[in-house]
Structure 1
C-alpha cells in the first residue's frame, strides 16, 4: 500500500529537525526545530474520520534543537531534548526537571535503550555519552563528531562517527569499543539503527545505506539516496525509514530491495513510522503525517503538495546556469547521442534539468557526472590558515561584512556546514552547498581530488607543502531554493606549485569558470 498525505502540521517557524513517537498515547509524538522549540502533538478527536493533531506542549530552548527521545524515570515517561546549547534537557510535561551537562558542543543524537532506562547521546565534540539519572559515562575512541548512536540492549550500544568508523561498546566491559569497523562506508557515517534481527542499518553522506549482521559483517550496501542520509529509523516490523538531503524519505525492507520514496520539496531531516503512520520532518518547517489507509488520506492535500514540489523543481531548473547559459537551454542528452565527438572531448548537456558532463571515449559518449552551477564575482580575499585549516570569506548581504567559514584540517564538512549555518542564522537549505564547496576545495591530492587538465593542479590540500600563488576562485550559494533576497558567495585562494604557473598563464583571459567534478575539471570558454 502506498503512503498518501494525511495531515500537515504547522506550528514551527524553522526547520523541523527531529521527530520521535511517544509511548504515552496512541498517535502522540514530539518534534524539535531550528526555531528553538520542541512541540508535542496528540491525535485530535475533533475529526475522528481524519488524522488531525493538536499541539499540546511547547518546550522552549535558547538555541536550536537537534535531537529528542523519550526516557523512563521512576515510572514516568519523560522527554529528553538537546541541540546547539550542548545540554541535554529532561522534561516532565512543560517543566524541565533536569539538565545533563558534559557535552561541549552541539548534541546531534539522542536515543534511549529498548527499556528506556538509559539515555545515549552523541555530539559534535567527538564524544558519545551514556546517562542514567545524573551519572554519565563517556565512550572513548571517537576522533570526530558522533552523528548517531543506537542501543542494542541497555548495555550494548553502537555509534556512527564522522571518521567513517562503526563502533560497538559493551558498557560492562569498559568505555573502549569491543569491536570497531574502520571505513564502514566510503564517505562519512551519518546514522545507525538497530534492525529487528539485532543487525544494523547505517547511512552515509554519499547516500549509501548498508545492512550489517549482529557481529558487524556487512551484508549489503546500496546507493539508496542521491545525497546525505540523515536518519535511519526502524518501524518495529523489519522495515527501515530513511530521510535525506535529496528531499525524500524512503521506506525500505530489511534487504533494501523494496523501496517506496516519498518526495518533498526540500530536505527531509528525519522520518519515523509507527502506529500505521509515517511522520516526516521537513526543512520547510512543516511536519507531515502520511498514511497507507486510503480512508485517512487526503487526496486534495496530497495533490496540492505535489504541485508545490513540481513548482519548486521548475523554478530551480529555470534559475540554474552553466557557463552563463541556462541549463534548460543547453543541448539535451538526446542531442548528444547524434553527435560524433573526438577522443577525450567533453561536453555538458541538459538531462532533465541537471547539467551533466560526458566524455567521448572509444566511439561513444560516457557519463562522467553532474557538474556544479555557475559561480559569481569575488570581492573579498580568502586565506589558508597556518594550522592547515581551510578558510574563506562568505558574503551574506550587501553592505554587511563577510563571515569567515573555517573548516579544520581533517574535519567533517557536514559538521562545519551545519555549525556555520546555525551560528549565523542562515537558511539550512544552504548546508549541502557548503558541504559540496568544502569538499571541492579540500580534496586531498592523489585521493580523488580534482586535477586541472592544463596545470596539473588539484584543489587545496590542507597542510600540503605547496608554493602558494593567489588565484581567485569564487562560488556563490545557489539561491534558487532559498530566499531570493539573500546573496551568499565565497572567495578562496587556490594553491598551485611554482611548476604550475606556466600552465595557469595559458588560461588567463579565456577561463570563465572552473567546475570541479570527481577526478576532472571542466573549463567553460
Structure 2
C-alpha cells in the first residue's frame, strides 16, 4: 500500500526554535491563525477580534484589529483578488453565526461583507483559489459553499468585486461540522467535511461517501498537494492519512490528548497541534519535532511560505517558530519561554481504536455530541452549544 512522503527539503534534520511571541493583542484564546505570506499574519480570538500582523524591521507588529463579530471568532480564510484591480480579503467566522469579510488591502476595521446563513457557531472556513469558492462549517450541522460574482461594486478605496451568495448547503451531518475542505484535483468539484465521520460530497450537495476511522469527532482536515490523500486529526489524539476509497494509509501517534488541527506545511510536511501543550511536525510518517507551549491548549497552526510556523494558544499569544538561525528569538526571550513551560507528562493515547477503517453507509446514527472544545460534556441539544 502506498504511503505518503513529503517533498524533499533543504535540511530535514533542522529543529524548530521559538522565533517570536507577538506583543499581546488578544485577551482570549487564539482560535485561528493564518499566514497570508511571509510578511503578513492574521489571528482570531475568543475576545471577538481579528488581528492583522505585519513584519517590520525586527518583528511582527499589530497593524489592525478588525471588528464586527461581538462574539468568539473561531475560523479564518484568506480570499485573494479575483482580478488585477481587486483587493485582498480575510473571511472570519464565529459564535455569532455570521461570516464577515474584511478588506486586507485597506485594513478598514468594519467588514466589507456579511454572509448570513448559519444558525450557530461557524467553526471552519476554507477558500479555494482555483475554484473561487468559500466553504464554511458550523455547529448547526451544515456546511455551506459560497461564491461571489465577478462584477465590480463599490467606489473608491473600498471597492471590490462581487456580492457573496450561497451556492449549495451540505446537509445530512450527524453532529457539528468541525472542518471543511475543497478537493482541488478532481475532474468534478468535490468537498470534504467532518463531524464524527469524514463526508465526501459532489458539487451539487449529494453525499457520496462517509469514511469512519474513529468513534470520536474529526476536528481537522487537510488535503495533500497530490490531491489523492487527505489527513484527519481527531479527539482520540491520532493523525490519520487516507485515500479517497476510505482506506487508512498511515496512523501517526504522538499527541497525548485531543488533536485540534493538522495542516500541510510549505514543504509538504504535516504539522499538528492540540490539548497536550504542543505542536508537532511529522516527516515520512515519523514525529520529527515537538514544539512545547507555555499554555494548556494549542488551538491552531499555520505554515509560512518560508517554512516558519505560527501557532495560537489558550494564553492568547501568537507565536512564530523557525529553523533558520537568523530568525531565532534572543536568549532572553528563549529563557523566559523555557521558564514558563509546564511539565508535560509522558502519556500515550490509550483510547485509540483499531487501525482498520472502511467507508460507512450514509444511514443516520444517533450519538451524543462532544460539545466543549476542551472538556468532555456530552449533550444532545444543539441549541445549548456555546464555547
Q: Normalising by the residue count of structure 2, what TM-score does the alignment of the two structures yield?
A: 0.77
Q: Does 1:20 align with 2:34?
A: yes
Q: Does 1:30 align with 2:42?
A: yes
Between the two structures, name the one with larger relative contact order (CA 8 Å, sep ≥ 6): 2
CA RMSD of aligned residues (A): 2.3
Superposition deviation, residue 273 in structure 1:
1.6
Q: How does 1:95-114 map to 2 (within 5 A)?
A: 95-114=110-129
Mapped partners of 1:177, 1:7: distance in 2: 44
Q: Indicate if the aligned counterparts of 1:6 and 1:301 stay in contact, CA closer than 8 A.
A: no
Superposition deviation, residue 302 in structure 1:
2.0
Residue equivalent to 1:6: 19
Mapped partners of 2:29, 2:18: distance in 1: 19
Superposition deviation, residue 216 in structure 1:
3.3
Mapped partners of 1:205, 1:297: distance in 2: 32
Q: From the superposition, tell whether residues 213 and 236 of structure 1 become closer, same or farther in structure 2 (CA, over 3 Å).
A: farther
Q: Indicate if the aligned counterparts of 1:141 and 1:176 stay in contact, CA closer than 8 A.
A: no
Q: From the superposition, tell whether residues 215 and 11 of structure 1 become closer, same or farther in structure 2 (CA, over 3 Å).
A: same
Mapped partners of 1:233, 1:304: distance in 2: 28
Q: How does 1:337-486 map to 2 (within 5 A)?
A: 410-413=367-370, 415=371, 417-418=372-373, 431-432=374-375, 435=376, 438=377
* Structure with the higher helix share, 1 or 2: 1
Q: How does 1:19-58 map to 2 (within 5 A)?
A: 19-23=33-37, 26-45=38-57, 47=58, 52-58=59-65
Q: Indicate if the aligned counterparts of 2:136 and 2:180 stay in contact, CA closer than 8 A.
A: yes
Superposition deviation, residue 74 in structure 1:
4.1
Q: How does 1:87-236 map to 2 (within 5 A)?
A: 87-92=98-103, 93-94=107-108, 95-115=110-130, 117-133=132-148, 134-136=164-166, 137-153=168-184, 155-161=189-195, 164-171=196-203, 174-181=204-211, 183-198=212-227, 199-236=229-266
| Unmatched runs of 5 consecutive residues or more in structure 1 | 315-351, 357-367, 370-408, 419-430, 443-461, 463-525
Q: From the superposition, tell whether residues 186 and 57 of structure 1 become closer, same or farther in structure 2 (CA, over 3 Å).
A: same
The one-character-per-residue Cα deviations of 1:277-319 (angstroms, maximum 9, x if unpaired) are 1101011011001110112112332222111114xx39xxxxx
Moved over 4 A (4+): none
| Unmatched runs of 5 consecutive residues or more in structure 2 | 1-13, 149-163, 352-365, 381-387
Mapped partners of 2:334, 2:183: distance in 1: 37
Q: Normalising by the residue count of structure 1, what TM-score does the alignment of the two structures yield?
A: 0.58
Mapped partners of 2:250, 2:82: distance in 1: 41
What secondary structure is seen at the aligned counterpart in 2 of 1:109?
A: strand
Q: Does 1:86 align with 2:97?
A: yes
Mapped partners of 1:73, 1:179: distance in 2: 33
Superposition deviation, residue 169 in structure 1:
1.6
Q: Does 1:304 align with 2:336?
A: yes
Q: How does 1:325-336 map to 2 (within 5 A)?
A: none
Q: Does 1:287 align with 2:345?
A: no
